[in-house]
Amino acid sequence: MTDATPVRLHRRLGAQLTSQHPIVVTIFALILGFIVGAIIIITTTASVLDAWRGIFHSWGAPGHAIRLTFDNVGAAYRTMFTGSVVDPNSFWDSLTTGKNWSVTLTPISETLTYATPLVIVSTGVGIAFQTGIFNIGANGQAVLGGIAGGVVATMVHLPMVIHLPLALLAGLAGGMLAGSVPGILKAFTGAHEVIVTIMLNYVVYAFLLFAVLSTPFQQPGQQNDISRTFDGSAQLPPLFGTASGLRVSYGVLVAAVVVVFAWWFLDRSSLGFDFRVTGANPSAAKASGISARSVVVMVFLISGGLAGLAGFVQAASTTHQIDGGFLIGNAGIGFTAITIALLGRNRPMGILWSSLLFAALGVGGRAMQSQTGIPLDLATVIQSVIVLFVATPVLVKEIFRLRAAPVATIKLATQGWGS
């Protein structure tokens, strides 16, 4: 009993590494995701595929194929890293010469820029998930928020100290409006939010085109589906000034506020407590006096509002206008938000880190595309695979033979269409 203590400590550390602890699972899921990505790169890059096809042709062929594989995959992932975090050479250079910091810091700045709206929208989705609600309409809500904020940013002219907050509020309101539809429908008719939100997404996309081509909102002198440029007083300016070349904007402050709000809301507020109880056990929630109806409506208002805010922040900090393809498609930030929220286990801090990760994947993916020609969609595929693996810790455990520990798994029990 006396010298058991040091042994136990050592065993415990070892146990942590091989346990099914959420962070460990996430890391392993990441590794698996990248492996799958590598496989896709291999099978779709002509030169590599040819090399593998010819591995039996000569003795040096397998080595050649492997080398080519490593080169291509390595190049792809390397550019992903240098494009999203930092290029070590550039960093060393800046450190020693004190110059070119803007070049060195650009990748991180880009990642932060992309992460900012992701954090905001994913927080909203995560809050919804904790209440047991799927907000699959986050993308449409973000678009509507972008439109609303954009309208205020272009058609009203006020000093920045009023204009920017007003535009941000408009973004919030736009998202809340879009979120109110599934919220009210679910609260008063029980309509399952999945179909309603997805259909509403398409409605909003059509509305986006309508708005961006309408005379008041359209960029004067353009026939394309592009809006006016936001007033300078309604843009989110770069943190380090335009001269630095770093795009990371004051949007990060907004994101920081959102994260703090989410933590306070879920952990400390009474309404957040109601949300969590409803998500954990709707029957008990009802019996305890929580009004399911008002919870549902509030959830969609908050979640939608955050998504709308994210949409406007995205536009106001990067392009300073919106076009017909704003956030479009099945890979828009609203859908990424679902996967980020899952990865982050619906908690604010987890969502923060996951957003950074996914932003890095996106930014890195772009760099990869421009430098190696591998399209950006690959990054989205990797993201999806990672999420699937994270949502199934049991699967990851089996693949890596991790020891089972009593860890709460992400498990949502659906009951069809609710009637």
In this complex, which beta carbon is closest to other proteins, that of residue 185 or of residue 248?
185
In this complex, which beta carbon is closest to other proteins, that of residue 251 or of residue 272?
272
In this complex, which beta carbon is closest to other proteins, that of residue 371 or of residue 392?
392
Binding flag, residue 53, other proteins (CB under 8 A): no
In this complex, which beta carbon is closest to other proteins, that of residue 150 or of residue 238?
150
Q: How far is the CB of 166 from other proteins (least distance, A)?
A: 26
Six-digit token string for 159: 């000093």
Binding flag, residue 180, other proteins (CB under 8 A): no
Six-digit token string for 55: 């591995």
Using the rule CB under 8 A, give the single segment among 164-172, 241-249, 315-323, 389-397 that binds other proteins. Answer: 389-397
Q: How far is the CB of 127 from other proteins (least distance, A)?
A: 11
Give the CA distances from residue 312 to residues 10, 59, 97, 116, 386, in Å, rounded to whole numbers and listed in that order: 50, 58, 39, 11, 28
Q: What is the DSSP string of 299-338?
A: HHHHHHHHHHHHHHHHHHHTTSS-BTTTT-STTSHHHHHH
User: Which H, E and C letters describe 233-262, residue by residue?
Assistant: HHCCCECCCHHHCCCCECHHHHHHHHHHHH
In this complex, which beta carbon is closest to other proteins, that of residue 319 or of residue 384?
384
Binding flag, residue 417, other proteins (CB under 8 A): yes
Binding flag, residue 96, other proteins (CB under 8 A): no
Residue list 185-214, contact with other proteins (CB under 8 A):
185-192, 194-196, 198-203, 206-207, 209-210, 213
Compute the residue count for the chain.
419
Spatial CA neighbour of 200 closest among 180, 217, 226: 180
Binding flag, residue 27, other proteins (CB under 8 A): no
Using the rule CB under 8 A, give the single segment among 53-61, 75-83, 228-236, 266-274 that binds other proteins. Answer: 266-274
Q: How far is residue 165's CA from residue 301's CA, in Å, rounded to a whole number? A: 19
Spatial CA neighbour of 304 closest among 129, 124, 118, 130: 124
Q: How far is residue 237's CA from residue 163's CA, in Å, rounded to a whole number? A: 13
Binding flag, residue 405, other proteins (CB under 8 A): no
Six-digit token string for 207: 């509305």
Q: Give the interface size with other proteins as a residue count (CB under 8 A).
A: 95
Binding flag, residue 232, other proteins (CB under 8 A): no
Binding flag, residue 34, other proteins (CB under 8 A): no
In this complex, which beta carbon is closest to other proteins, that of residue 97 or of residue 270?
270
Q: What is the DSSP string of 57-90?
A: SSTTHHHHHHHHHHHHHHHHHHHHHHHHT--HHH
Q: How far is the CB of 63 from other proteins (least distance, A)?
A: 27
Q: How far is the CB of 4 from other proteins (least distance, A)?
A: 21
Q: How far is residue 67's CA from residue 47's CA, in Å, rounded to a whole number? A: 12
The residue written with tokens 């010298």 in the block is 3
Q: How far is the CB of 46 from other proteins (least distance, A)?
A: 9
Binding flag, residue 48, other proteins (CB under 8 A): no
Q: How far is the CB of 363 from other proteins (least distance, A)?
A: 16
Binding flag, residue 42, other proteins (CB under 8 A): no
Binding flag, residue 404, other proteins (CB under 8 A): no
Query: Over the range 130-150, which residues count as b (16 or more CB within 10 Å of their CB) and which as e?
Result: bbbbbbbbbbbbbbbbbbbbb
Q: How far is residue 150's CA from residue 162's CA, in Å, rounded to a whole number? A: 15
- Helix (H, G, I), strand (E, B), or coil: what is residue 20? coil
Residue list 282-341, contact with other proteins (CB under 8 A):
282-293, 296, 329-331, 335, 338-339
Binding flag, residue 216, other proteins (CB under 8 A): no
Residue list 125-144, contact with other proteins (CB under 8 A):
129-134, 136
Query: Number of C-alpha atoms within 13 angstroms, CB side, residue 414?
Result: 8
Q: How far is residue 182's CA from residue 202's CA, in Å, rounded to a whole number? A: 14
Residue list 141-170, contact with other proteins (CB under 8 A):
none
Residue list 349-388, contact with other proteins (CB under 8 A):
375-378, 380-381, 384-385, 387-388
